Amino acid sequence: MSTAETIAKNAHIASTILKTLSDSERSQALQEIHDGLKLHKSQIIEANQKDLTNAINNNLDGPLIKRLDLSKGDKFDSMLDGILEVKELEDPIGKITLARELDTNLNLYRVTCPVGVLLVIFESRPEVIANITALAIKSGNAAILKGGKESLETFKVMAQIVNEVIASKTKVPENSIQLISTREEVGALLDQDKFIDLVIPRGSNALVRNIKSNTKIPVMGHADGLCAAYIDDEADLKMACKLVVDAKTNYCAACNAVETLLINEHIAVTDIQTIFQSLFDAEVTLHITTELLDQLEQEFIAKNKKFITTATEEDFHTEFLSFDLAVKSVKDVESAMSHINLHSSKHTDLIITANETKANKFLNGIDSAGVYWNCSTRFADGFRYGFGTEVGISTNKIHARGPVGLEGLVCYQYQLKGTGQIVGDYGNGGRAYIHKDIDIRTLNQ
């Protein structure tokens, strides 16, 4: 058996035991992992410093180094608090979501259960180890974690602590959390569709795209965040300026930042220029269609020429992740919707209007995980939604969408409890099904 197959099979076997533990057993394990990491803080920070030194020697980008550094501010303590927050969440497992009497003493129950085995692939942030370990164990899933080479030293020390704690102090089976560090193994693990149930990539577009193209296992996540804002002719001008500037500039490298701006063609040129001016003031470069550019005042263009470029068709398919924004005018809310449904990455899209009918048309007609009315696309985030720690943001259209918490790691099984019933006794003049729903509120207490 290949190494990857052994890792995946062992995770699968562990998952079937982990699945049967009680919430208190799973939660107690999180407490022990928290305590273990806290106890060995200095050892972890020491390893993390080695990673930082290596990163500096390898001339890594500033933001990447910043993400790597566990000693910065309260990052280490936040990581530990995160584990306890997950511990306190309601148990997602064993909830009855449907109960039905099929016949006398033949009862059907739909019960939530873990997905099984997760393969989580992430880049530089070492705190993801604690985060995903907590979410996986709380939801009864085994997890195989693969971190980036930049955080290898931190990763190795944390992995050792987590596994020692699990083995010595908890009922969580061995191999529930496996940490791997070589790039070769990932490719082989992506072939283990027999044992791995869900792949969760957390990192760059390139990482996610590469994984999606190389596995038959379902992938939960997002490659692109191509979000759009539509400013309607019934929008409040001041609100429009404020929302667009925040959605573009609050954190331009985020997946929920806006990349396309659609402007209703009935908005007066002076108002359009007000909107643009607020973006120029925030140092945003606009990629404007020639059609729209032709309507602007020459003086206005001349004054702001360093922030103006002509839009290409490609710009409306581009996730800039920078202070760039593609702009075009559209006839009405329907045209905006058509543009967005064909161009957006189904992440989060926004309408700015005072007209509720148009807003509802937009909210119901847009085919994205997040559909927003009069608020910044930057709210698309598990913490802001009040989900606690998030697994990631999904642009998939099945299973889980948008910011995903524990519920994305849970599915369900049908349990059927009988007293010897056979199918041969039903139909053709035999027994008939009762199909009477049982009140699930009493069952879940």
Nearest distance in Å: CB 109, a second copy? 9
Q: Which stretch binds a second copy (CB under 8 A): 82-90, 181-189, 325-333, 382-390?
A: 382-390
Cβ within 8 Å of residue 267, ≥6 positions away: 231, 233, 235
359 binds a second copy (CB under 8 A): yes
For 166, how many CA atoms within 13 A lie in the half-sphere containing its CB?
A: 21
Among 51, 123, 224, 246, binds a second copy (CB under 8 A): 246
Identify which of residues 179 and 198 has a Cβ nearer to a second copy in the complex. Answer: 198
Would you count residue 268 as binding a second copy (CB under 8 A)? no
Q: Does 385 bind a second copy (CB under 8 A)?
A: yes
Among 367, 392, 395, 442, which residue sits at the site for a second copy (rule: CB under 8 A)?
Answer: 367
166 binds a second copy (CB under 8 A): no
Q: Is 221 in the site for a second copy (CB under 8 A)?
A: no
Q: Which is nearer to a second copy, 14 or 37 (CB)?
A: 14
CB of 370 to a second copy, least distance (A): 5
Which of residues 42 and 364 has its CB atom nearest to a second copy in the complex? 364
> Which of 144, 115, 23, 130 minimizes the C-alpha distance to 409?
115
The least distance separating a second copy from the CB of residue 265, rounded to whole angstroms, comes to 21
SS (H, E, C) 122-153: ECCCCCHHHHHHHHHHHCCCEEEEECCHHHHH
Asked if 323 touches a second copy (CB under 8 A), the answer is: no
The residues in 74-103 that bind a second copy, with binding defined as CB under 8 A, are 94, 100, 102
Contact 76, 45 (CB under 8 A): yes
Out of 57, 74, 168, 420, which residue is the one contacting a second copy (CB under 8 A)? 420
**246-271: string of b/e by CB count within 10 Å (b at 16+)?**
bbbbeebebbbbbbbbbbbbebeeeb
Sign of CA dihedral 118, 191, 345, 147: positive
**Which residues 286-305 are close enough to bind a second copy by CB under 8 A?**
none
Pairing of strands 227-231, 258-264: parallel
Beta carbon nearer to a second copy, 162 or 258: 258
Task: Between 302 and 423, name the residue whose CB sits nearer to a second copy.
Answer: 423
Q: What are the backbone angles phi and psi of residue 229, rounded to the nearest 5°?
A: -120, 135
Residues numbered 387 to 406 that lie near a second copy (CB under 8 A) are 396-403
**What minimum distance in Å lies between the beta carbon of 81 and a second copy?**
16
Q: How far apart are CA 282 and CA 260, in angstroms?
A: 16
429 contributes a contact to a second copy by CB under 8 A? no
Specify the pairing of strand 96-103 against strand 106-114.
antiparallel
Q: Give DSSP secondary structure letters for 28-47.
A: HHHHHHHHHHHHTHHHHHHH
Distance from the Cα of residue 385 to its chain's centroid: 12
Q: Cβ closer to a second copy: 125 or 248?
A: 248
Query: Between vectors from CA 132 to CA 153 and to CA 389, what angle results, nearest 5°?
Result: 125
Taking the complex as a whole, the smallest distance from the CB of residue 55 to a second copy amounts, in Å, to 27
- Does 373 bind a second copy (CB under 8 A)? Our answer is yes
Binding span for a second copy by CB under 8 A among 50-58, 68-76, 168-176, 209-217: 209-217
Long-range contacts of 308-317 (CB under 8 A, 24+ apart): 309/285, 311/287, 312/287, 315/287, 316/260, 316/343, 317/226, 317/343
* CB 57, min distance to a second copy, A: 33
